[in-house]
Amino acid sequence: MTPTLQLVLALGIIILAAKSMGYVSVRLGQPAVLGELLAGLVLGPTMLDFFHLPIFSDKHLTEVILELGELGVIFLMFIAGLEVDLQAMLRAGKVSTLVGTLGVFTPIALAIPAGMLFGYDLSNSIFIGIILAATSVSISAQTLLELGRLRSREGTVLLGAAVIDDVIVIIILSLFLAVSDAGTDLVQVGAIFAREILFIGVAVFIGAKLLPRLADWVSDLPISEGVMALVLCVTLFYAWSAEQLGAIAAITGAFLAGVFFARTSQRHAIERGMHTLAYAFFVPIFFISIGLQANARDLRVEELWLTGAIIVVAIISKIVGCGLGAWLGKLSARQGLRVGIGMISRGEVGLIVAGIGLASQTITDSVYSGVVVMVLVTTLITPILLRWAFAPAEVTDG
């Protein structure tokens, strides 16, 4: 069977598995995203090891699926941005800043003694904390969408805090690498920070001043699905430029694109088109790809304690740190708990930071394996905890 046919078959199975497990999850009273994530775990190396079955001989098949999954998270974060009320988000600026800041420094503070308890030095322990500081709210955004709570006070704070969290983590990572590398000029740290500020400034200017006019202009052109083509191009360029030019994660760029397209007169058409494209194809692949990257069978018994410690610190640090930030920002204790739970999930940013640490030998293979399992566990439990945190009377089904 040719590589193309193998890809076609794999995609069909992946999407069918994701949607089927999602349906079962909904029937059991849980968010669909939980079933889709479990489908990835079943298909992955932890259980069936789907891509190593005899029928799949293409060595690049897994890589292609994972890359399609990366597009899925980009489109998912665009949709999350599309759901944001920008004025409400700006009003939540103070509390989002508090949540994002404490959500970064609390994991680092808790990881230092935990890492040293397992024999790692101060530098290694700080780096573990930086990994745990990174938040991926794509799972939380999807769950809040299903619960009809993405535009709630907690949802608005959560999305704003995630952007701040991402920026702070990248800055701290840059500082850490600069200080730990004797040959690195600290001027480079300032240059990275300047790139981030410049990118955000330019992205905001283009989004606020140009995108609404451009969307209206394209809608009048005799081009089939012209507006949707524009949305895809802008989203991809924002995602690319965020990471390549602005030293910020690509998902942040996609999120910003969604925020500003929500201000255009074409918002409802864009929402329909992106929902169809993302949820029918790319997003299920993303959720499956999370399970495909985890292999719990590789963990040795002696590494389970370390993995457990990483998971516990990852969960407690976000609930305490982000919850405290929300409370200091005048949210209620219940709202603070919801925000803290929403920030638990880790994902692509944490894995990217862990990959940098592994490549530079700042962390060991054991830590990296523990981080992968932690990402999976926090991703799985976040939808369940969010569902619990929002009282049934406050949940809007659909």
- Domain range summary for the chain, segments of one domain joined by +: 71-284+298-394
- CB proximity list for 365: less than 8 A, separation 6 or greater: 358
pLDDT of residue 151: 75
Residue appearing with tokens 């974060």: 77
pLDDT of residue 134: 84
Q: Largest alpha-carbon pair distance within the chain?
A: 65
Measured between alpha carbons, how far is residue 352 from residues 26, 33, 185 in Å?
A: 31, 22, 23
pLDDT of residue 288: 86
| CATH match for 71-284+298-394 among 1.20.1530.20, 3.50.50.60, 3.40.50.300, 3.50.30.10 | 1.20.1530.20
pLDDT of residue 54: 86
The segments of the chain whose pLDDT lies below 50 read 182, 393-398
pLDDT of residue 397: 40
pLDDT per position as a tens digit, 13-62: 999 999 999 899 878 866 677 788 788 888 988 788 888 888 888 888 98
State both tokens at 198: 């410049």
Q: What is the pTM of this model?
A: 0.73
Is residue 392 helix, strand or coil? helix
Measured between alpha carbons, how far is residue 232 from residues 171, 229, 241, 280 in Å?
A: 29, 5, 14, 16
- For residues 142 and 139, give the distance between their C-alpha atoms in angstroms, rounded to a whole number: 5
pLDDT of residue 172: 82
- For residues 318 and 252, give the distance between their C-alpha atoms in angstroms, rounded to a whole number: 20
Closest CA to 104 of 369, 260, 325: 325
- Beta carbons within 10 angstroms of residue 280's beta carbon: 11
Closest CA to 11 of 62, 48, 53, 71: 62
Measured between alpha carbons, how far is residue 99 from residues 82, 127, 157, 389 in Å?
A: 22, 21, 8, 18
